[in-house]
């Protein structure tokens, strides 16, 4: 792999930029359930069932709530991202690996910019990123809807032929590949982030993000 061929690196945030073992999304998942409970006056079991139904049917629970209950997405995002970030530690090795990559780096997330900034701050890597393309900038159209990827490309002036996208969910990489990007699956043990189909659209697989970035840069960790 020749990293000089890429002038833009598109990183997912949750369970990609930080390890899935931090279990931040477990907290977000619980907060989503609480939001559904409060919004619709449901018991926890019914709220959980509806939350997951909307996730299956509409790609995100937020999308389902917007379509079916006309909620304000800003309120939802603020509520669900009020979580404890202490499991995320400063990652100097990731910081060093990002510093070696050529070109721009962009975060692309189904979450909010504020959440992304908070996480990057904890990791100590915010200085490397030129911007965050969040669910609001995507018009609340979630991954993996290809229209959102086209909006990302237009907003950040990305040439897909010279871009590479990294995500923990294989299905989120399919539209990127369709548009001409190279793709990296950052593997996790999260059940719902496993392949749902053939993954011939994935070019590379990373067991550990920092390790993989160091390997492709041809540099060895000196820590």
Q: Where are the domains of the chain?
A: 3-19+89-217, 24-80
How many other C-beta atoms lie within 10 A of the C-beta of residue 192? Answer: 11
Q: What is the pLDDT of residues 174-199, one digit of tens each?
A: 999 999 999 999 998 777 667 777 78
Contacts of 190 (CB under 8 A, 6+ apart): 15, 20, 25, 168
Q: What is the pLDDT of residues 45-97, one digit of tens each?
A: 999 999 999 998 988 899 999 999 999 999 999 999 999 999 999 999 999 99
Q: What is the arithmetic mean of pLDDT over 208-221?
A: 82
Q: What is the pLDDT of residues 23-44, one digit of tens each?
A: 998 999 999 999 999 999 999 9
pTM of the model: 0.91
* Interstrand relation of 204-206 and 131-133 (parallel, antiparallel or unpaired): unpaired
Whole-number CA gyration radius for the chain: 17
* Interstrand relation of 104-108 and 131-133 (parallel, antiparallel or unpaired): parallel
Q: Tell me whether the CATH fold assigned to 3-19+89-217 matches the one assigned to 24-80.
A: no
Q: In what order do the strands lie in the sheet with 182-186?
A: 131-133, 104-108, 8-11, 163-167, 182-186, 204-206
pLDDT recorded at residue 192: 65
Banded pLDDT at 146 (limits 50, 70, 90): very high
Q: Rounded CA gap, 8 and 176, in Å? A: 13
pLDDT > 70: what percent of the chain? Answer: 96
Banded pLDDT at 128 (limits 50, 70, 90): very high
Contacts of 23 (CB under 8 A, 6+ apart): 87
Contacts of 197 (CB under 8 A, 6+ apart): 170, 171
pLDDT recorded at residue 193: 60
* Domain covering 3-19+89-217 assigned CATH 1.10.8.60 in the classification: no
Return the CATH number of the domain spanning residue range 24-80.
1.10.150.450
């Amino acid at each position: 792999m020749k990293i000089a061929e890429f002038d833009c690196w598109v990183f997912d945030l949750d369970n990609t930029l930080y390890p899935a073992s931090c279990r931040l999304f477990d907290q977000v998942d619980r907060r989503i359930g609480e939001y559904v409970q409060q919004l619709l006056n449901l018991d926890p079991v019914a709220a959980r069932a509806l939350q997951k139904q909307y996730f299956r049917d509409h790609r995100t629970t937020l999308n389902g709530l917007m379509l079916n209950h006309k909620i304000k997405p800003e309120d939802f995002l603020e509520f669900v991202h009020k979580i404890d970030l202490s499991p995320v530690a400063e990652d100097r090795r990731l910081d060093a690996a990002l510093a070696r990559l050529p070109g721009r780096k962009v975060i692309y997330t189904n979450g909010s910019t504020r959440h992304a900034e908070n996480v990057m701050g904890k990791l100590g890597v915010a200085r490397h990123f030129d911007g965050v393309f969040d669910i609001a900038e995507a018009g609340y159209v979630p991954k993996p809807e290809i229209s959102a990827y086209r909006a990302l490309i237009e907003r950040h002036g990305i040439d897909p032929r010279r871009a590479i996208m990294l995500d923990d969910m294989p299905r989120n990489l399919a539209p990127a590949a369709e548009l001409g990007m190279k793709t990296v699956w950052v593997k996790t043990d999260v059940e719902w982030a496993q392949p749902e189909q053939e993954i011939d659209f994935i070019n590379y697989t990373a067991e550990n993000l920092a390790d993989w970035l160091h390997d492709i840069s041809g540099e060895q960790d000196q820590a």
